[in-house]
Amino acid sequence: MKVIDHIKESEETLFSFEILPPLKGKNVQSIFDGIDPLMEFKPKFINVTYHREEYIYKERGQGLLEKIAIRKRPGTVGICAAIMNKYQVDAVPHLICGGFSKEETENALIDLQFLGIDNVLALRGDSIKTESSFRPHENGHKYAVELIDQITDMNKGTYLMDDIQLEPTNFCIGAAGYPEKHFEAMNLSTDLKYLKQKVDAGAEYIVTQMFFDNKKYFDFVEECKKAGINVPIIPGIKPLKTMNHISFLPKFFHIDFPDELSAELLKCKNNEDVQALGVEWAINQSKELKKAGVPCIHYYTMSKSDDVKLIANEIF
């Protein structure tokens, strides 16, 4: 079932969450262990991220370098199929531009359709650690809107090999939104312009990047409406968990902590303090968002369900 249909059919705020594929060498049970504790809250869909391979180059003498994959996560497509088979819950695979040619994207979408997966979240993706900035595949897409265009074309029955008649796909397309703007955008207005292009291209709903100040989400929704963006906007929530998050999240995701939260974080002495504060803050965020009637609250779990379970106990 499509995410947009889940939203339309529900009179209450839905619960959903995102997981990471396990690192190479771990089996699917590590995924199930993170999902099982959250099933009592009846998630309507579960997102599965996609991560590109990362490489290092080792010298092998005589001026030769060997390219070695140092980080690889198992296939998102297979994990989505496993989730749907085990839990009978819709899975939403992330599709990214980086590392994919248009042909590889088409093949992945054909596989998803064959498996009965109705939803995709279309993203540009981040640069890998060895890149100073995002570099697309030479035969791939540079921007998420181009990826959405390709998916929309396939939904119309238009494939790369246009001389072959193939069955149209029927994907519900999600896109990412940034309440504090994408860090590469000149300002929020230009960021909204690009978001509008993604919606016009075929995105049926938006999931936001994490934020810790609900006012920024509510303001973002209002600015989207002014820009002519009228699809559902799902807030993304991530509970703080470790001392490292205090500096890492603002730096990596280009987000701000509100003054009240930052004041409390300065009092934290260890990971346990941060985790307790993170759960409490996310509960308060979620209560306000649910009271406001948001279509769904989407939690970034990093495949660890303990904190989200504590939050969901209070909200759902």
The Cα 165–Cα 163 span in angstroms is 7
Closest CA to 179 of 220, 215, 136, 138: 220
Catalytic residue list contains 12: no
Judged by DSSP in three states, 184 sits in: coil
- Do residues 208 and 179 lie in contact, with contact meaning Cβ atoms separated by under 8 Å? yes
* 189 phi/psi in degrees, rounded to 5: -65, -45
* 65 phi/psi in degrees, rounded to 5: -120, 140
Farthest-apart Cα atoms in the chain, separation: 67
Q: What is the DSSP letter of 207?
A: E
Distances (CA, A) of 189 to 66, 98, 195, 219: 45, 25, 10, 13
**Sign of the alpha-carbon dihedral angle for 277, 283, 288, 294:** positive
Q: Which helix (H) or strand (E) holds 176?
A: strand 172-177
**Of 11, 12, 18, 222, which is the active-site residue?**
18
Our CA angle for 16, 18, 20, nearest 5°, is: 160
Active site residues: 18
